[in-house]
A and B are shown apart, each in its own frame.
Chain A
Protein backbone atom coordinates (compact mmCIF):
# COMPACT_ATOMS: atom_id res chain seq x y z
CA UNK A 1 0.00 0.00 0.00
CA UNK A 2 3.11 2.24 0.03
CA UNK A 3 2.29 3.98 -3.24
CA UNK A 4 -1.32 4.74 -2.40
CA UNK A 5 -2.50 8.27 -2.83
CA UNK A 6 -5.17 9.04 -0.27
CA UNK A 7 -6.90 12.40 -0.03
CA UNK A 8 -9.73 13.33 2.32
CA UNK A 9 -12.08 16.17 1.45
CA UNK A 10 -13.56 17.21 4.76
CA UNK A 11 -14.87 19.99 6.99
CA UNK A 12 -13.29 20.34 10.42
CA UNK A 13 -16.59 20.43 12.36
CA UNK A 14 -18.31 17.54 10.60
CA UNK A 15 -18.92 14.50 12.79
CA UNK A 16 -19.20 12.49 9.56
CA UNK A 17 -15.82 13.65 8.33
CA UNK A 18 -14.35 12.84 11.75
CA UNK A 19 -15.44 9.22 11.32
CA UNK A 20 -13.16 8.89 8.31
CA UNK A 21 -10.27 10.55 10.16
CA UNK A 22 -10.65 8.05 13.00
CA UNK A 23 -10.82 5.08 10.63
CA UNK A 24 -7.73 6.19 8.68
CA UNK A 25 -5.87 6.73 11.96
CA UNK A 26 -6.88 3.28 13.23
CA UNK A 27 -5.39 1.77 10.08
CA UNK A 28 -2.29 3.97 10.12
CA UNK A 29 -3.01 5.28 6.61
CA UNK A 30 -1.06 8.32 5.48
CA UNK A 31 -3.31 10.83 3.75
CA UNK A 32 -3.66 14.42 2.67
CA UNK A 33 -6.40 16.38 4.40
CA UNK A 34 -8.11 19.07 2.32
CA UNK A 35 -10.40 21.42 4.22
CA UNK A 36 -13.50 22.35 2.20
CA UNK A 37 -15.59 25.51 2.15
CA UNK A 38 -19.16 24.28 2.28
CA UNK A 39 -20.94 27.54 1.63
CA UNK A 40 -23.15 27.54 -1.45
CA UNK A 41 -21.27 28.88 -4.48
CA UNK A 42 -17.97 28.40 -2.65
CA UNK A 43 -17.60 24.67 -3.06
CA UNK A 44 -14.36 23.64 -4.73
CA UNK A 45 -14.25 22.25 -8.24
CA UNK A 46 -12.62 19.15 -6.79
CA UNK A 47 -15.54 18.52 -4.42
CA UNK A 48 -18.11 19.05 -7.17
CA UNK A 49 -16.24 16.65 -9.43
CA UNK A 50 -15.60 14.01 -6.79
CA UNK A 51 -19.13 14.05 -5.37
CA UNK A 52 -21.28 15.15 -8.28
CA UNK A 53 -24.42 13.59 -6.82
CA UNK A 54 -24.47 15.18 -3.36
CA UNK A 55 -21.66 17.84 -3.35
CA UNK A 56 -21.04 16.85 0.26
CA UNK A 57 -18.13 15.90 2.45
CA UNK A 58 -16.53 13.64 3.46
CA UNK A 59 -15.10 12.26 0.23
CA UNK A 60 -12.19 9.86 0.27
CA UNK A 61 -10.15 9.95 -2.93
CA UNK A 62 -8.10 6.77 -3.22
CA UNK A 63 -5.70 6.72 -6.16
CA UNK A 64 -7.92 9.23 -7.94
CA UNK A 65 -11.21 7.40 -7.32
CA UNK A 66 -13.78 8.95 -4.98
CA UNK A 67 -15.74 7.15 -2.29
CA UNK A 68 -18.62 9.11 -0.73
CA UNK A 69 -20.88 8.78 2.33
CA UNK A 70 -19.03 8.37 5.64
CA UNK A 71 -20.38 4.95 6.71
CA UNK A 72 -19.62 3.70 3.21
CA UNK A 73 -16.09 5.14 3.35
CA UNK A 74 -15.35 3.51 6.72
CA UNK A 75 -16.42 0.10 5.35
CA UNK A 76 -14.27 0.69 2.27
CA UNK A 77 -11.26 1.60 4.43
CA UNK A 78 -11.79 -1.58 6.46
CA UNK A 79 -11.94 -3.74 3.33
CA UNK A 80 -8.93 -2.20 1.57
CA UNK A 81 -6.58 -1.83 4.55
CA UNK A 82 -7.43 -5.21 5.95
CA UNK A 83 -4.00 -5.99 7.40
CA UNK A 84 -4.64 -4.39 10.78
CA UNK A 85 -7.27 -3.07 13.21
CA UNK A 86 -10.40 -4.77 11.82
CA UNK A 87 -13.33 -2.40 12.20
CA UNK A 88 -16.23 -4.67 11.30
CA UNK A 89 -16.80 -7.92 13.22
CA UNK A 90 -15.72 -11.14 11.55
CA UNK A 91 -18.87 -12.90 12.73
CA UNK A 92 -21.48 -12.34 10.01
CA UNK A 93 -24.43 -11.93 12.35
CA UNK A 94 -22.52 -9.42 14.50
CA UNK A 95 -21.56 -7.64 11.29
CA UNK A 96 -25.23 -7.27 10.36
CA UNK A 97 -25.95 -5.91 13.83
CA UNK A 98 -23.11 -3.40 13.44
CA UNK A 99 -24.51 -2.22 10.10
CA UNK A 100 -27.98 -1.96 11.64
CA UNK A 101 -26.72 0.28 14.45
CA UNK A 102 -24.65 2.48 12.16
CA UNK A 103 -27.76 2.91 10.02
CA UNK A 104 -29.65 3.88 13.21
CA UNK A 105 -26.96 6.41 14.15
CA UNK A 106 -26.97 7.79 10.59
CA UNK A 107 -30.71 8.38 10.67
CA UNK A 108 -31.54 9.23 14.25
CA UNK A 109 -29.01 11.72 15.58
CA UNK A 110 -27.91 14.37 13.13
CA UNK A 111 -31.22 16.03 12.24
CA UNK A 112 -32.59 16.08 15.78
CA UNK A 113 -29.23 17.20 17.13
CA UNK A 114 -29.18 20.04 14.66
CA UNK A 115 -32.70 21.13 15.61
CA UNK A 116 -31.71 21.17 19.27
CA UNK A 117 -29.35 24.09 18.62
CA UNK A 118 -30.25 25.64 15.27
CA UNK A 119 -34.03 25.77 15.70
CA UNK A 120 -36.18 27.68 18.14
CA UNK A 121 -39.15 27.12 20.42
CA UNK A 122 -41.09 23.88 20.10
CA UNK A 123 -38.97 22.52 17.24
CA UNK A 124 -35.81 23.00 19.32
CA UNK A 125 -37.36 21.31 22.36
CA UNK A 126 -38.61 18.41 20.27
CA UNK A 127 -35.15 17.99 18.75
CA UNK A 128 -33.51 17.93 22.17
CA UNK A 129 -36.01 15.41 23.54
CA UNK A 130 -35.59 13.04 20.62
CA UNK A 131 -31.80 13.39 20.64
CA UNK A 132 -31.63 12.33 24.29
CA UNK A 133 -34.14 9.51 23.73
CA UNK A 134 -32.19 8.10 20.79
CA UNK A 135 -28.87 8.33 22.63
CA UNK A 136 -30.49 6.40 25.48
CA UNK A 137 -31.45 3.68 23.02
CA UNK A 138 -27.82 3.54 21.93
CA UNK A 139 -26.70 3.48 25.56
CA UNK A 140 -29.03 0.52 26.10
CA UNK A 141 -27.49 -1.29 23.17
CA UNK A 142 -24.00 -0.79 24.60
CA UNK A 143 -25.05 -2.41 27.87
CA UNK A 144 -22.04 -3.37 29.91
CA UNK A 145 -19.76 -3.95 26.95
CA UNK A 146 -16.46 -2.13 26.79
CA UNK A 147 -17.10 -1.00 23.22
CA UNK A 148 -19.95 -1.59 20.79
CA UNK A 149 -17.63 -4.03 19.07
CA UNK A 150 -17.25 -5.97 22.36
CA UNK A 151 -13.66 -5.96 23.54
CA UNK A 152 -12.43 -3.99 20.59
CA UNK A 153 -13.20 -0.57 19.20
CA UNK A 154 -14.96 -0.84 15.85
CA UNK A 155 -17.40 0.39 13.23
CA UNK A 156 -20.28 1.35 15.52
CA UNK A 157 -17.94 3.03 18.02
CA UNK A 158 -16.45 5.12 15.21
CA UNK A 159 -19.87 6.08 13.85
CA UNK A 160 -21.09 7.30 17.23
CA UNK A 161 -18.06 8.69 19.10
CA UNK A 162 -17.58 11.58 16.69
CA UNK A 163 -20.91 13.07 17.83
CA UNK A 164 -19.16 13.67 21.17
CA UNK A 165 -17.47 16.74 19.69
CA UNK A 166 -20.95 18.30 19.48
CA UNK A 167 -22.13 17.23 22.97
CA UNK A 168 -20.98 20.43 24.66
CA UNK A 169 -22.94 22.39 22.04
CA UNK A 170 -26.11 20.31 22.50
CA UNK A 171 -25.81 20.61 26.29
CA UNK A 172 -25.24 24.35 26.23
CA UNK A 173 -28.08 25.18 23.87
CA UNK A 174 -30.40 22.64 25.48
CA UNK A 175 -29.46 23.30 29.08
CA UNK A 176 -28.99 19.68 30.12
CA UNK A 177 -26.16 17.31 30.96
CA UNK A 178 -25.26 14.10 29.13
CA UNK A 179 -23.50 12.91 32.28
CA UNK A 180 -26.88 12.96 34.02
CA UNK A 181 -28.91 11.61 31.09
CA UNK A 182 -26.54 8.92 29.79
CA UNK A 183 -23.79 8.18 32.33
CA UNK A 184 -22.84 4.81 30.79
CA UNK A 185 -22.55 6.34 27.38
CA UNK A 186 -20.25 9.02 28.78
CA UNK A 187 -18.09 6.33 30.39
CA UNK A 188 -17.82 4.66 26.97
CA UNK A 189 -16.87 8.05 25.44
CA UNK A 190 -14.04 8.37 27.96
CA UNK A 191 -12.77 4.90 27.03
CA UNK A 192 -12.83 5.88 23.35
CA UNK A 193 -11.02 9.15 23.99
CA UNK A 194 -8.11 7.20 25.48
CA UNK A 195 -7.41 6.01 21.94
CA UNK A 196 -5.15 8.32 20.02
CA UNK A 197 -7.05 7.73 16.80
CA UNK A 198 -10.09 9.30 18.46
CA UNK A 199 -8.54 12.06 20.57
CA UNK A 200 -6.47 13.32 17.64
CA UNK A 201 -9.39 13.25 15.19
CA UNK A 202 -11.97 15.16 17.20
CA UNK A 203 -11.75 18.95 17.37
CA UNK A 204 -12.00 20.87 20.63
CA UNK A 205 -15.60 20.99 21.92
CA UNK A 206 -15.39 24.69 22.70
CA UNK A 207 -14.39 25.46 19.10
CA UNK A 208 -17.48 23.55 17.93
CA UNK A 209 -19.66 25.55 20.32
CA UNK A 210 -18.17 28.83 19.08
CA UNK A 211 -18.87 27.68 15.53
CA UNK A 212 -22.49 26.77 16.36
CA UNK A 213 -23.02 30.13 18.09
CA UNK A 214 -21.64 31.90 15.01
CA UNK A 215 -23.83 29.84 12.66
CA UNK A 216 -26.92 30.45 14.76
CA UNK A 217 -26.38 34.18 14.89
CA UNK A 218 -25.47 34.48 11.23
CA UNK A 219 -27.92 32.10 9.57
CA UNK A 220 -30.51 30.77 11.97
CA UNK A 221 -31.65 33.66 14.07
CA UNK A 222 -34.86 35.30 12.96
CA UNK A 223 -34.33 39.03 12.63
CA UNK A 224 -36.65 41.69 13.97
Chain B
Protein backbone atom coordinates (compact mmCIF):
# COMPACT_ATOMS: atom_id res chain seq x y z
CA UNK B 1 0.00 0.00 0.00
CA UNK B 2 3.10 2.19 0.04
CA UNK B 3 2.59 4.29 -3.05
CA UNK B 4 -1.10 4.95 -2.70
CA UNK B 5 -2.23 8.53 -2.65
CA UNK B 6 -4.52 9.42 0.23
CA UNK B 7 -5.94 12.91 0.69
CA UNK B 8 -8.37 14.13 3.30
CA UNK B 9 -10.51 17.25 2.91
CA UNK B 10 -11.80 18.25 6.31
CA UNK B 11 -12.31 20.85 9.03
CA UNK B 12 -10.23 20.92 12.22
CA UNK B 13 -13.37 21.55 14.28
CA UNK B 14 -15.46 18.75 12.79
CA UNK B 15 -15.97 15.56 14.81
CA UNK B 16 -16.82 13.79 11.53
CA UNK B 17 -13.51 14.77 9.98
CA UNK B 18 -11.61 13.86 13.13
CA UNK B 19 -13.08 10.35 13.02
CA UNK B 20 -11.41 9.78 9.69
CA UNK B 21 -8.07 11.14 10.94
CA UNK B 22 -8.21 8.85 13.97
CA UNK B 23 -8.86 5.85 11.73
CA UNK B 24 -6.04 6.75 9.32
CA UNK B 25 -3.63 7.13 12.23
CA UNK B 26 -4.66 3.85 13.87
CA UNK B 27 -3.94 2.11 10.59
CA UNK B 28 -0.69 3.99 10.10
CA UNK B 29 -1.76 5.39 6.73
CA UNK B 30 0.08 8.40 5.36
CA UNK B 31 -2.22 11.10 4.07
CA UNK B 32 -2.26 14.69 2.90
CA UNK B 33 -4.60 16.97 4.81
CA UNK B 34 -6.50 19.86 3.26
CA UNK B 35 -8.29 22.28 5.57
CA UNK B 36 -11.52 23.53 4.02
CA UNK B 37 -13.17 26.88 4.49
CA UNK B 38 -16.92 26.32 4.75
CA UNK B 39 -17.70 29.89 3.77
CA UNK B 40 -15.83 29.37 0.55
CA UNK B 41 -16.13 25.72 -0.39
CA UNK B 42 -13.35 24.73 -2.70
CA UNK B 43 -14.19 23.60 -6.18
CA UNK B 44 -12.51 20.31 -5.24
CA UNK B 45 -15.12 19.65 -2.55
CA UNK B 46 -17.98 20.39 -4.91
CA UNK B 47 -16.40 18.06 -7.46
CA UNK B 48 -15.79 15.20 -5.03
CA UNK B 49 -19.00 15.39 -3.04
CA UNK B 50 -21.60 16.77 -5.45
CA UNK B 51 -24.46 15.03 -3.65
CA UNK B 52 -24.05 16.46 -0.16
CA UNK B 53 -21.31 19.08 -0.61
CA UNK B 54 -20.10 18.16 2.87
CA UNK B 55 -16.95 17.18 4.67
CA UNK B 56 -15.03 15.02 5.28
CA UNK B 57 -14.10 13.59 1.87
CA UNK B 58 -11.41 10.97 1.54
CA UNK B 59 -9.65 10.80 -1.80
CA UNK B 60 -7.92 7.48 -2.46
CA UNK B 61 -5.90 7.44 -5.68
CA UNK B 62 -8.16 10.20 -6.97
CA UNK B 63 -11.43 8.47 -6.11
CA UNK B 64 -13.66 10.13 -3.50
CA UNK B 65 -15.35 8.42 -0.56
CA UNK B 66 -17.90 10.48 1.41
CA UNK B 67 -19.79 10.18 4.72
CA UNK B 68 -17.60 9.52 7.75
CA UNK B 69 -19.01 6.08 8.67
CA UNK B 70 -18.73 4.89 5.06
CA UNK B 71 -15.14 6.18 5.00
CA UNK B 72 -14.29 4.37 8.26
CA UNK B 73 -15.47 1.01 6.88
CA UNK B 74 -13.67 1.68 3.59
CA UNK B 75 -10.42 2.37 5.47
CA UNK B 76 -10.84 -0.76 7.58
CA UNK B 77 -11.45 -3.01 4.55
CA UNK B 78 -8.88 -1.47 2.24
CA UNK B 79 -5.99 -1.37 4.68
CA UNK B 80 -6.36 -4.73 6.32
CA UNK B 81 -3.95 -4.99 9.21
CA UNK B 82 -3.76 -6.52 12.65
CA UNK B 83 -5.44 -3.44 13.94
CA UNK B 84 -9.10 -3.74 12.86
CA UNK B 85 -11.72 -1.09 13.40
CA UNK B 86 -14.59 -3.56 13.11
CA UNK B 87 -14.78 -7.06 14.59
CA UNK B 88 -14.48 -10.14 12.33
CA UNK B 89 -17.62 -11.87 13.53
CA UNK B 90 -20.73 -10.84 11.51
CA UNK B 91 -22.94 -10.48 14.59
CA UNK B 92 -20.39 -8.33 16.41
CA UNK B 93 -20.01 -6.25 13.24
CA UNK B 94 -23.78 -5.76 13.07
CA UNK B 95 -23.73 -4.59 16.71
CA UNK B 96 -20.89 -2.15 16.01
CA UNK B 97 -22.74 -0.72 13.02
CA UNK B 98 -25.93 -0.44 15.09
CA UNK B 99 -24.23 1.56 17.85
CA UNK B 100 -22.35 3.79 15.41
CA UNK B 101 -25.65 4.62 13.72
CA UNK B 102 -27.32 5.19 17.10
CA UNK B 103 -24.71 7.78 17.96
CA UNK B 104 -24.87 9.43 14.56
CA UNK B 105 -28.66 9.49 14.20
CA UNK B 106 -30.01 9.80 17.72
CA UNK B 107 -27.32 11.40 19.83
CA UNK B 108 -26.50 14.13 17.36
CA UNK B 109 -30.18 15.03 16.96
CA UNK B 110 -30.53 15.21 20.75
CA UNK B 111 -27.40 17.35 21.05
CA UNK B 112 -28.81 19.77 18.51
CA UNK B 113 -32.02 19.83 20.57
CA UNK B 114 -30.13 20.56 23.78
CA UNK B 115 -28.35 23.38 21.99
CA UNK B 116 -31.57 25.33 21.50
CA UNK B 117 -32.55 28.10 23.80
CA UNK B 118 -35.81 28.14 25.81
CA UNK B 119 -38.53 25.55 25.08
CA UNK B 120 -36.85 23.12 22.77
CA UNK B 121 -33.97 22.71 25.16
CA UNK B 122 -35.73 20.79 27.94
CA UNK B 123 -37.00 18.20 25.50
CA UNK B 124 -33.55 17.99 23.95
CA UNK B 125 -31.93 17.43 27.33
CA UNK B 126 -34.47 14.74 28.23
CA UNK B 127 -33.81 12.93 24.98
CA UNK B 128 -30.06 13.28 25.39
CA UNK B 129 -30.25 11.89 28.93
CA UNK B 130 -32.10 8.82 27.66
CA UNK B 131 -29.51 8.20 24.96
CA UNK B 132 -26.58 8.65 27.34
CA UNK B 133 -28.20 6.13 29.69
CA UNK B 134 -28.40 3.69 26.78
CA UNK B 135 -24.71 4.18 26.03
CA UNK B 136 -23.83 3.90 29.73
CA UNK B 137 -25.55 0.53 29.74
CA UNK B 138 -23.75 -0.63 26.62
CA UNK B 139 -20.39 0.02 28.29
CA UNK B 140 -21.09 -2.54 31.04
CA UNK B 141 -18.01 -4.72 31.53
CA UNK B 142 -16.03 -3.00 28.80
CA UNK B 143 -13.24 -0.44 28.78
CA UNK B 144 -14.14 0.80 25.32
CA UNK B 145 -17.21 0.15 23.16
CA UNK B 146 -14.88 -1.93 21.01
CA UNK B 147 -13.68 -3.98 24.00
CA UNK B 148 -10.05 -3.64 25.05
CA UNK B 149 -9.16 -1.41 22.13
CA UNK B 150 -10.97 1.49 20.50
CA UNK B 151 -13.03 0.50 17.49
CA UNK B 152 -15.62 1.86 15.09
CA UNK B 153 -18.09 2.84 17.81
CA UNK B 154 -15.48 4.61 19.95
CA UNK B 155 -14.23 6.52 16.92
CA UNK B 156 -17.80 7.51 16.04
CA UNK B 157 -18.35 8.60 19.64
CA UNK B 158 -15.61 11.23 19.44
CA UNK B 159 -18.37 13.76 19.55
CA UNK B 160 -19.55 12.40 22.89
CA UNK B 161 -16.02 12.49 24.29
CA UNK B 162 -15.19 16.05 23.39
CA UNK B 163 -17.87 17.99 21.60
CA UNK B 164 -20.72 17.13 23.95
CA UNK B 165 -18.78 18.11 27.07
CA UNK B 166 -17.84 21.49 25.64
CA UNK B 167 -21.37 22.14 24.41
CA UNK B 168 -22.90 21.30 27.80
CA UNK B 169 -20.35 23.47 29.57
CA UNK B 170 -21.11 26.46 27.36
CA UNK B 171 -24.84 26.02 27.87
CA UNK B 172 -24.43 25.61 31.63
CA UNK B 173 -26.07 22.18 31.55
CA UNK B 174 -24.87 19.74 34.20
CA UNK B 175 -25.54 16.39 32.67
CA UNK B 176 -22.38 14.46 31.90
CA UNK B 177 -21.26 13.91 35.49
CA UNK B 178 -19.51 11.00 37.21
CA UNK B 179 -22.51 10.61 39.51
CA UNK B 180 -25.02 10.22 36.70
CA UNK B 181 -22.83 8.40 34.16
CA UNK B 182 -19.85 6.76 35.89
CA UNK B 183 -18.98 4.34 33.08
CA UNK B 184 -19.38 6.89 30.32
CA UNK B 185 -17.21 9.41 32.17
CA UNK B 186 -14.53 6.81 32.73
CA UNK B 187 -14.73 5.93 29.03
CA UNK B 188 -14.24 9.60 28.18
CA UNK B 189 -11.14 9.79 30.40
CA UNK B 190 -9.64 6.62 28.91
CA UNK B 191 -10.53 7.69 25.38
CA UNK B 192 -9.08 11.19 25.63
CA UNK B 193 -5.99 9.72 27.23
CA UNK B 194 -5.38 7.37 24.27
CA UNK B 195 -2.20 8.34 22.42
CA UNK B 196 -3.77 8.68 18.97
CA UNK B 197 -6.86 10.49 20.26
CA UNK B 198 -4.66 12.99 22.15
CA UNK B 199 -2.68 13.64 18.98
CA UNK B 200 -5.71 14.05 16.78
CA UNK B 201 -8.55 15.79 18.57
CA UNK B 202 -8.42 19.55 18.99
CA UNK B 203 -7.48 21.03 22.29
CA UNK B 204 -10.56 21.49 24.51
CA UNK B 205 -9.76 25.17 25.20
CA UNK B 206 -9.23 25.94 21.53
CA UNK B 207 -12.49 24.29 20.62
CA UNK B 208 -14.36 26.05 23.41
CA UNK B 209 -13.09 29.44 22.22
CA UNK B 210 -14.04 28.57 18.67
CA UNK B 211 -17.62 27.78 19.74
CA UNK B 212 -17.86 30.94 21.81
CA UNK B 213 -16.78 33.05 18.87
CA UNK B 214 -19.19 31.21 16.59
CA UNK B 215 -21.94 32.19 19.06
CA UNK B 216 -23.01 28.62 19.43
Contact = CB atoms under 8 A, between A and B. Distances in A.
B34 interface: no
Which of A67, A75, A80, A92 counts the most chain B CB atoms within 10 A?
A92
A99 B93 CA distance: 15
A103 B51 CA distance: 12
Contact of B74 (A68, A69, A80, A96): A96
B94 A75 contact: yes
Given A53-B102, A92-B78, A100-B67, A75 B97 contact: yes
B36 interface: no
Contacts, number: 54
Contacts of A65: 91
Contact of A103 (B70, B77, B93, B94): B70
A72 B74 CA distance: 16
Range class of the B interface residue count = 20 to 34
B216 interface: no
B141 interface: no
Nearest to B131: A53
Given A53-B102, A92-B77, A76 B94 contact: yes
Contacts of B71: 96
Interface in B68-98: 69-71, 73-74, 77-78, 90-91, 93-94, 97-98
Nearest to B79: A92
Nearest to B49: A100
A104 interface: yes
Given A65-B91, A73-B94, 19 more contacts: A69-B97, A72-B94, A72-B97, A75-B93, A75-B97, A76-B91, A79-B93, A92-B77, A93-B63, A93-B74, A95-B77, A96-B65, A96-B71, A96-B73, A97-B65, A99-B73, A100-B65, A103-B67, A104-B51
16 contacts: A62-B91, A67-B98, A72-B94, A72-B101, A76-B90, A76-B91, A79-B93, A92-B74, A92-B78, A93-B60, A93-B63, A95-B74, A96-B70, A96-B73, A99-B67, A99-B70
